[in-house]
Structure 1
Amino acid sequence: MKIPFNQFSFSIIDPNTDISGFECDNPDLNDFLYTDAIHYQEERLAVTRLIHLQNNVVGYFTLVSDSIEVAAIHSDDGNFEYPYRRYPALKIARLATDSHYQKQGIGRAMLLKTMQIAIVLSGYIGVRILTVDSKHDSVEFYEKFGFKRATRKNHETISLYRDFHRTLCDIQDKREESDITKY
Structure 2
Amino acid sequence: MKTSLQTPFSSYKIRKLEINEKVKSFDCGDADLNDFILNESGFYRQALLAVTYVFEAADDENHEHIAAYFSLANDRVSMSDFPTKTEFNRFRRHRFVNEKRLKSYPAVKICRLAINQELKGQHIGQFLINFIKSYFLADNKTGCRFLTVDAYAAAIPFYFKQKFVPLTAEDEGAATRLLYFDLNDIAD
Q: What TM-score, normalized by structure 2, do the two folds share?
A: 0.78
Pairwise CA distance, 1:145: 1.0
Higher relative contact order (CA 8 A, sep 6+): 1
CA RMSD of aligned residues (A): 2.3
Equivalent in 150, 157, 180 of residue 140 of structure 1: 157
Aligned to 2:57: 53
Pairwise CA distance, 1:152: 6.0
Gap change, CA 1:9 and 1:76, over 3 Å in 2: farther
Residue 88 in structure 1 maps to residue 106 in structure 2: yes
Aligned to 1:162: 181
Distance 2:89 2:96 in 1: 13
Aligned to 1:42: 46
**Equivalent residues of 1:60, 1:95 under 8 A apart:** yes
Distance 2:25 2:12 in 1: 17
Deviations 1:100-120 (A, max 9, x none): 000112111211221132124
Distance 1:77 1:163 in 2: 12
Distance 1:76 1:8 in 2: 41
Code of the aligned partner of 1:153: E
Code of the aligned partner of 1:96: A
Equivalent in 55, 67, 76 of residue 67 of structure 1: 76
Equivalent in 22, 34, 53 of residue 26 of structure 2: 22
Spell out the pairing of 1:7-18 with structure 2 (5 A cutoff). Answer: 7-14=11-18, 17=21
Unmatched segments (≥5 aa) in structure 2 = 1-6, 80-87
Pairwise CA distance, 1:30: 0.5
Aligned to 1:99: 117
Code of the aligned partner of 1:140: P
Code of the aligned partner of 2:131: K
Gap change, CA 1:121 and 1:25, over 3 Å in 2: farther
Aligned to 1:177: none
Gap change, CA 1:144 and 1:76, over 3 Å in 2: farther
Q: What TM-score, normalized by structure 1, do the two folds share?
A: 0.80
Distance 1:145 1:52 in 2: 22
Code of the aligned partner of 2:140: S
Deviations 1:158-179 (A, max 9, x none): 11101012211xxx3xxxxxxx
Deviations 1:121-140 (A, max 9, x none): 734x3210110010000011
**1:21 alignment partner, SS class:** coil
**1:41 alignment partner, SS class:** helix
**2:10 alignment partner, SS class:** helix
Code of the aligned partner of 2:163: G
User: What percentage of aligned pairs have identical amino acids?
Assistant: 27
Unmatched segments (≥5 aa) in structure 1 = 173-183
**1:33 alignment partner, SS class:** helix
Gap change, CA 1:120 and 1:39, over 3 Å in 2: farther
Code of the aligned partner of 2:51: V
Code of the aligned partner of 1:116: S
